[in-house]
Amino acid sequence: MFRSDMKLNNVLNKILQSKNIKISQKDYGTNFFEKNIIDSIQFLDLISEIEKLYKVKFSNKDFNSQNVYTIKSLNNLLIKKINAKKK
């Protein structure tokens, strides 16, 4: 079972930095859109990078909740996807 939260946080942060998007650790629980950290196009680009890197697929259902628009919640969702893929 994959549970390396810190590793995923670092990977997500590196992907964001590669897109010239800076987010501090204190903002890992902050909604991307409410604080104008990223826009919707950048979010889709981030999701695409994650899907390629981890060979997972997200569905529209995964993004029904406003809670998923933070590094922490995206990290948790990704862990679930990785673990489900291993079963």
Q: How far is it, in rounded angstroms, from Cα 85 to Cα 28?
A: 25
pLDDT above 90 covers a percentage of the chain that reads: 13
- The structure tokens 């291993």 sit at 86
Residue type, 78: L
User: CA–CA separation, 26 vs 54, rounded Å?
Assistant: 25
How much is the pTM?
A: 0.79
Task: Answer whether residue 67 is part of any domain.
Answer: yes
Cα separation, 87 vs 69, in Å, equals 26
**So what's the pLDDT on residue 6?**
61
Q: Report whether pLDDT(1) > 60.
A: no
Flag whether 83 is in a domain: yes
Q: Is 60 exceeded by the pLDDT of residue 7?
A: yes
Provide the residue range defining the domain that includes 52: 1-15+42-87
Is residue 21 assigned to a domain?
no
Q: Work out how many domains the chain is built from and give that number.
A: 1
Q: State how far the Cα of 63 lies from the Cα of 86, in Å rounded to an integer.
A: 22
- Cα 59 to Cα 36: distance, rounded to the nearest angstrom: 23
